């Protein structure tokens, strides 16, 4: 098995340790492998999307990072049917987008949000 090295802030390490204990993983490596498997499976699901689709996109982000969401969402007004924005506790925001359009466009929007370091959570739900 290949060994890789990654850098993480203390908060992420604490969260990984918490997950490890709660779910009974043998160590951090096994916890991170499980996370990587989930990311790979999620990506494979997105890759299968094609043609015109309907989907729901959920985001959680810091209120101070609303500008990032706004900049990205304006590039995809053609596929956005509805957006719901709600303020959560601890200066967090929840955005729910109802999307309809070409799967390639939807995946591009999700990718921009996913790769932004400003999002706490990004989840695309597509039948």
Same domain membership, residue 58 and residue 30: no
Instruction: Tell which residue, 122, 67, 71, 126, has the closest CA to residue 96.
Output: 122
Structural domain including 97 reads 51-125
Same domain membership, residue 72 and residue 98: yes
pLDDT tens-digit series, residues 79-103: 999 999 999 999 999 999 999 999 9
Does residue 3 lie in a domain region?
no
Same domain membership, residue 58 and residue 99: yes
Does residue 4 lie in a domain region?
no
Is-contact 103 52, C-beta < 8 A?
yes
Does residue 26 lie in a domain region?
yes
- Is pTM beyond 0.95? Reply is no
pLDDT tens-digit series, residues 101-123: 999 999 999 999 999 989 999 99
């Amino acid at each position: 098995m290949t060994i890789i090295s990654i850098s993480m802030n203390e908060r992420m390490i604490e969260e990984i340790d918490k997950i490890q204990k709660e779910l009974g993983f043998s160590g951090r490596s096994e916890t991170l492998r499980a996370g990587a498997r989930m990311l790979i499976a999620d990506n494979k699901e997105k890759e299968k999307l094609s043609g015109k689709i309907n989907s729901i996109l959920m985001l959680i982000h810091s209120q101070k990072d609303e500008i990032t969401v706004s900049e990205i969402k304006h590039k995809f007004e053609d596929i956005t049917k509805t957006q719901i924005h709600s303020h959560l506790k601890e200066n967090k925001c929840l955005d729910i987008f109802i999307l309809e359009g070409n799967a390639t466009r939807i995946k591009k929007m999700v990718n921009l949000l996913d790769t932004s370091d400003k999002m706490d959570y990004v989840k695309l739900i597509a039948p």
